[in-house]
């Protein structure tokens, strides 16, 4: 597994030693970031990589022009792996050992994110719970973007203040690109 493009292009990332983490493949990451770049989302973005696992999504965003990234995971091993990858690349970032499905209201010292990656364990119904919590807690900036990675059978049924921009299926993985429209 490696960074697909940008400043860190071709740099290899540490991968998990077991099957507890399901990293996003290079091919899918490349497709996701092509969608984001074509929409002008990455330059200067403040990114939240929830369920970060290896940190590959957030690190790819930083490689392609995002200005900051917070990596969040409730599993200490995952967060350590993401931090090892960031350290190996020489990236400054924040790491939160926190359950993304149980967030409180964002405090003023934490910026709202204009790009959020949601890549929870498949088939556990965590996408909508997490997305609603992020919206209710004011974690996403106005007109922010959310990239949901879920199992092939996942169906985005809509959520108030958000609209689906695009959806693609790659093998067992479905990518849903969502834009915050007018959440209050």
At 110 the pLDDT is 84
Of the listed ranges 10-19, 80-89, 110-119, the least confidently predicted one is: 10-19
Query: Average pLDDT in the 33-61 region?
Result: 95
Question: To which H or E segment does residue 29 belong?
Answer: helix 26-38
At 134 the pLDDT is 93
Radius of gyration of the chain (CA): 15
Q: Angle at Cα 27 formed by Cα 147 and Cα 24, nearest 5°?
A: 50
At 82 the pLDDT is 96
CB neighbours of 19 closer than 8 A, spacing ≥ 6?
Answer: none
Tell me the average pLDDT of the chain.
91
At 183 the pLDDT is 53
Of the listed ranges 14-18, 54-58, 124-128, 158-162, the least confidently predicted one is: 14-18
Q: Which domains does the chain have, with CATH numbers?
A: 26-180 (3.40.50.150)
Confidence bin at 73 (pLDDT 50/70/90): very high
Give percent of the chain above pLDDT 90.
74
Query: Average pLDDT in the 107-125 region?
Result: 90
Full-model pTM? 0.93
Print burial letters for 134-153: b (CB count within 10 Å at least 16), e (below 16).
bbeeebbbeebbbbbbbeee
At 67 the pLDDT is 96
At 149 the pLDDT is 93
């Amino acid at each position: 597994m490696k960074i697909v493009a940008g400043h860190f292009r071709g740099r290899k990332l540490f991968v998990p030693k077991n099957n507890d983490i399901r990293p996003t493949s290079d091919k899918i990451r490349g497709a996701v970031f092509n969608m984001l770049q074509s929409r002008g989302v990455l330059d200067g973005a403040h990114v939240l990589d929830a369920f970060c696992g290896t940190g590959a999504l957030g690190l790819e965003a930083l490689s392609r022009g995002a200005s900051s990234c917070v990596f969040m995971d409730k599993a200490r091993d995952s967060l350590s792996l993401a931090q090892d990858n960031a350290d190996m690349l020489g990236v400054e970032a924040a790491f939160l050992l926190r359950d993304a499905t149980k967030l409180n209201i964002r405090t003023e010292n934490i910026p709202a994110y204009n790009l959020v990656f949601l890549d929870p364990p498949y088939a556990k119904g965590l996408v909508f719970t997490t997305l609603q919590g992020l919206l209710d807690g004011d974690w996403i900036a106005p007109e922010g973007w959310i990239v949901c990675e879920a199992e092939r059978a996942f169906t985005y049924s809509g959520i108030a203040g958000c609209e689906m921009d695009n959806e693609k299926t790659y093998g067992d993985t479905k990518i849903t690109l969502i834009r915050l429209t007018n959440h209050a």
